[in-house]
Structure formats: C-alpha cells, structure tokens
Structure 1
Amino acid sequence: MIQDGKRIYERYGTGIGPGTRLISWSMAKSITATLIGELVADGRLELDTPAPVPEWRAVPGDPRARITLRQLLHMASGVKHIEAGPQPEIADTNRALFADTSADIYKAAVAEPAEVPSGTRFAYNTLTTHILARIVADAVAPNAKSPADRRRAVRDFINQRLAAPAGMASLLCEFDPAGNLYGGSLCHATARDWAAFGQMYLDKGVVAGSQVVRPDWVRFVTTPSPTNAGYGGQFWLNRKPVSGKDDALFWRKGPADAFAALGHLGQYVIVVPSRRLVVVRLGKTQDDDLQAVRDALAALVNQFPVAAK
C-alpha cells in the first residue's frame, strides 16, 4: 500500500517476497491500454477512426469495419465474444489461452462476427484486448516477418515506453506462438512494480518528474464509458456498473473517484486520488468468494481521510 508516494504497508505470503513476479491476469488489459495511449500520443493511432484490423475490411459491408479504437477500449465492439459462462470449455477466452485456438489468439479474436452495432453494448471480454495488443504490434512492427520479430519489437516498446520510465523493471509479458502479446491476460511483475504502475496513474502519468503517460490519456481511461459507467478505457471505475452488481470494485461503499486494474482471481491495483492512495492485492481467490475481498478493500480504503488539496 502506498500513500502520498510512500510505502506504508507491505505483507507477503509464505514463499513470496518483494522480488517475486506475480501474475496479472486481466490487469494486463490496463497495461495494453497504456501502450495504446502511447501510440495515440505519438499520432500513430486515433481513437475515433475505424480500428486498423485488416481482416474486418476484407469484405465490403462488414459492420466490423466501422468499429473504432475507442469502442474496443470501452469493450463495446459489438463482436460476438464469449468470455465465460456455464460451459467454460467453449468460452472464447479459454479456448484462445489454453485450447484449440491458442496457436494464434489474434486470428481467433478477429474471426468472430458482429452481433450488435458497435458502441451500443458493453460486453467485457479478453479477446477484445488481444486485438488491441495486436494493433500495438502492427504499429510498432509493421514489417515484422516472423513471430520472433513481432515479439522483439513489442518487448522493446514495452520496455522503452512503460517498464523503464515507470520504474517497472520486473514487468514481463507473455506471447503466443504467433508472436501475439497476451495483452488481456498474462503479464507478470512484482507487487512493488504493480504499485509503481498505480502510482504513475495517481500522479497523472508523471514518474520522477517525467511525463510517462499523457494526462489526457489518464483522463480518458478513467472517464465512464457510454455503455457502462463502471468501466473506462480498460480500467474499472468505482461507479455503479451497467449490471448493477458488485462484481468489480465497491461502488456502494467506496469513493467514486477510485479506479483499478483488476484480475479475475482477486488481483487489484486500486488507485484512489481523493485519498492519495494506491492499494495492491495479488492474492488468489476464486470469483465466487471475492465479495469478502471487495468488502475488506472497501473498508481499508475508507479508513483513510480525504486528502487536503
């Protein structure tokens, strides 16, 4: 836990310590959004033009050709992706990570058809972020001739534009056999480096006096999206979600300005600007048991008074 940029509490389980890299699961989505933000800042990508996905432009009239980068970041593409459900073995995410479509997660992600018009429905899914990760790769390595070329270019970009300037030396992200970044699921870093990621966003993108992420990008990813007030640009927000449930943060109890990178087994990097607070929790808790964790995190955050301006 960090307050005002200073570590005030730290605890690890048996066999885990400050040097242990711990898995992100879906916290990786917020890493990918940060990489997209760097490319938007460079002028290499634009939020409100159709996303550069060649497969969606191959057939005239394909409605997916109108999907914008902003809609992908907001999880509002309208594409039919199955994130989870009562039959996990047929979920697109599980198949792409662990089963029959895992050889090329990007190919699996862009193959699915449009289900509803883009920008009209929030549908959280990991394959959308894998598409965003490939958009990053195509922007930084447009002439990649092999999976190794693509991996190398993306790793260099992550290190140069995020890991090194943000003080996240341990950050390590994985790739599929086709060289696609697992941008929705599989990044690893120490708890302290995850905290550094949160602190960067708390400080409006500034690290050690240098602007790493533009403040307008911090503002974008933490602004409620049109189809879900509880979700921004690949970050969860502490607002009432479109589902009306307590399935992300603690909107019924905590400060409305809190936002977070979340992983599905109870991984959290929570940023609370009004408390000048960053809370990192990287334990493993099954989804069905997470309400107790959310309640405890809400109680923890609410112990801290609003910071003086």
Structure 2
Amino acid sequence: MKKLFLFPLLLLAVFSCSSDSSSTPTPNPVPEAMYFPPNDGSSTWETKTIADLGWNQNAVQPLLDYLELKHSKSFMILVNGRIVMEYYFNGHSATTPWYWASAGKTLTSTVTGIAEQEGFLNITNKVSDYIGTGWTNEPLAKENLITCKNLLSMTSGIDDYVNNVYSDDVTPSSLNYKADAGTRWAYSNVYVKLQDVVASATGQTWSNYFNNKLRDKLGMTGSWIQSGNNSVYWSNTRSMARFGLMALNNGKWNGTQIVNQNYFTAATNTSQNINLSYGYLWWLNGKASYHMPQVQTEFPGSIIPTGPNDMFMALGKNDQKIYVIPSKKMVVIRMGEAADNVNLALSDFDETLWEKINALYQ
C-alpha cells in the first residue's frame, strides 16, 4: 500500500514541475525592422555580417572566386535592407557607373505605373492615344489594338525580326505586324515606346519625370544615355540596390509609397497566359514554364531551378542582375561583363550563381 500511495504523489510532482516550466514560455525573437539608407548622398548604409546571420563563412570565397572568374564588376547582397556582402572586381569601384542594359526595363515599368497613379495615363488604353498614329508600320486597325499593357507584357504582336534578323530598331519602318496584340509573346525593344507615352502624357521629358518621381526619391544616382536605338540607364551599384530594395518593399521606400502597390503586385506576377514567367518587364522565377528572347519555344519548369521560387528579377544583357526574394527579405545585385557569351537577359550563369548563393545559408 505504501508504494501505491507514493506513485500518484510522484506523478503529481512531475505534472506540477511540467506545469511550472511551461508557464514561462520562451519569447519569440522580434523580427528585424526593414532598413532604408538615407537619401542625403552620404555613404551611410547599415550592414550585417555573415556571422550575424548565422551563414556559412566557408561559402563566401568560392562565391567571390566564381564572380571574379565570370567577369563581374560588382556584387551585393542586402537582407532586410542591410548590406551583407559588397564586393568590387576587375578595377571597378563603388562610385563607378555601369550600364543596366535591359534590367532598366523595370525602371520604365515602375515609372509607367507612377504616371498612371497620377492620372496621366491608363495602361489599358492604346498607345496611339498618347503618341499618335503611325508609330508602327502596321495597318491602322492593327496598330490601334496595341495597348500600353501590351508593351509592358511584351505582347504587342510586332515582329521582333526585320528581314530575318533580330532587331532592336524602334523606328516605324521596322515595327511590322506579326500577330494581333495580346496573342504572341516576343522579347522586343518596342517597350521603349512607353517612355514616349510617359513623356507625352505628362508633358515632361522622360528623364525629368523619371528623376523627379523615382530616382531622386530613392536617393539613386545615374542617368539615361542614348545607345543606338535605345536609351540605357547607367548608375553605380548601390543605386541599383536602392531600386531593388524598393521592389522588395512592394513599391514603398521608407514609409512612402512610390508606386501604387496594386500596380507593383501586378507588375511582378504573370501578366498574360503565354509566357507565365513574365510580368510587366519583370522576369518571374518558379513558374510552370517560360519563354526566352528571340525564340517562340515554351520551356517547361522554372527559369532558374536553383533560385527561390518566389524570386522576381530585372535581367539585362551581359548578365546585369537584380534578384528580389521576398521570402528571404533579400536583394542580390550583379553588374559586369557577360559571364560567358554575349546574351540578352538570361544565361547558364544564373543557375550556377544561385548554387553558390544558396551555399551561404543552407
């Protein structure tokens, strides 16, 4: 009887101790607030170390060696807005400007959204409402099918080839009918007509409106420089990172909504049902299929299988990159020469680069 009596008492003591220990729960860590660098032109920018994040220090040097081997000029990683890695290679420096190439398409997308939120234009309206008819070589009825949204989503139907050669010429004689707007996806330079739309709709030059409404509000530097048939943005690497940080925050910069969040959400999600991996001049990872520039083939799977599925990207010729990863609160920047051969936007470099970035935190 003595043993039977003691056993329940022991159980009571165990349950009592268990109850006492659970009454003081371990507090959850407070999420780190998003950081935005000041717009005062100073070099101030908060940092985090690899050790602070608990990342793998041994993975840093292989990543840097690969970047230098592949003709990179700069590389940055931001987490929650803070610089975790910032490196320059091959004679480049923090103050040296470099071209964005087609990564700058996302600047045009963003400013188009700003002009729409200010009431100057509507992206569902036809392009000729703003810049007049005859801006293409198409029959008028076909030209009038092309909306600003078609330019944003690369579905204008304009032939991306002239005399069987891929063309970036946007003079009217080179903009020929291939298909009705909205029925064909083709990576083309004709998107640049959106800059004319914005200029006409706002009554300002493209550069002035861009500078006032986007560049200066983010504390960016840089300018548009004419290159052949195109106007190309040049800036230092941190300016590219500032834009990426705004994108990470759904069009917001330090509490100020630069571009309407609904528009920005649409811009960074599938914009049409032909190329699932394309938004409004942004590339999208993690989709079921994708198209590449210059071809009409649909490829199965994600653009960068090694990259995060929620990543959206500004990609430019010769491997200019802005990768935005919401799930990791991370922005990655790469500027430089072509990693391998000259390419328009995508290359095998992306996949290998992401294997090495993943090694930092996996």
What TM-score bracket applies, with the shorter chain setting the length?
Answer: 0.7 to 0.9
1:118 is aligned, of 165, 181, 191, to: 181
TM, length-normalised to structure 1: 0.79
Aligned to 2:82: 6
Superposed counterparts of 1:124-139, under 5 Å: 124-126=187-189, 128-139=190-201
Query: 1:258 and 1:140 mapped to 2: Cα distance?
Result: 32
**1:269–1:279 CA contact under 8 A, matched in 2:** yes
Query: 1:304 and 1:217 mapped to 2: Cα distance?
Result: 33
**1:57–1:65 CA contact under 8 A, matched in 2:** no
Query: Alpha-carbon deviation of 1:291?
Result: 4.2
Give the aligned residue type for 2:350.
R
Aligned to 2:242: 196
Superposed counterparts of 1:132-281, under 5 Å: 132-141=194-203, 153-168=205-220, 170-175=221-226, 182-183=230-231, 186-226=232-272, 227-238=274-285, 239=287, 240-242=289-291, 243-245=297-299, 249-250=303-304, 252-281=305-334
Query: Alpha-carbon deviation of 1:269?
Result: 0.5
The SS at the match of 1:188 is: strand
Query: 2:314 and 2:329 mapped to 1: Cα distance?
Result: 17
Task: Name stretches of at least 5 consecutive residues in structure 2 with no aligned partner.
Answer: 1-76, 292-296
TM, length-normalised to structure 2: 0.68
**1:109–1:131 CA contact under 8 A, matched in 2:** no
Aligned to 2:155: 76
The SS at the match of 1:9 is: strand
Residues 33 and 287 of structure 1: is their aligned pair in 2 closer, same or farther, counting only changes over 3 Å? same
Task: Name stretches of at least 5 consecutive residues in structure 1 with no aligned partner.
Answer: 97-104, 142-149
Query: Alpha-carbon deviation of 1:37?
Result: 0.7
**Number of aligned pairs?**
272
Query: 1:155 and 1:187 mapped to 2: Cα distance?
Result: 10
Bigger proportion of residues as strand: 2
Aligned to 1:144: none
Query: Alpha-carbon deviation of 1:302?
Result: 3.3
Give the aligned residue type for 2:133.
E
Task: Specify the structure having the higher radius of gyration (Cα).
Answer: 2
**1:109–1:130 CA contact under 8 A, matched in 2:** no
Query: Alpha-carbon deviation of 1:132?
Result: 1.2
Identity across matched positions, percent = 26
Query: Alpha-carbon deviation of 1:70?
Result: 1.0
The SS at the match of 1:213 is: coil
The SS at the match of 1:79 is: coil
2:93 is aligned, of 17, 41, 65, to: 17
Aligned to 2:102: 26
Per-residue CA shift, 1:165-197, capped at 9, x if unaligned? Answer: 1121x22112479xx9x35xx100111110111
Give the aligned residue type for 1:233.
Y
Range that drifts further, 39-48 or 237-246: 237-246
**2:267–2:279 CA contact under 8 A, matched in 1:** yes
Query: Alpha-carbon deviation of 1:60?
Result: 7.7
Aligned to 2:17: none
Superposed counterparts of 1:45-64, under 5 Å: 45-51=121-127, 52=129, 53-56=131-134, 61-64=140-143
Residues 175 and 288 of structure 1: is their aligned pair in 2 closer, same or farther, counting only changes over 3 Å? closer
Query: 1:271 and 1:208 mapped to 2: Cα distance?
Result: 17
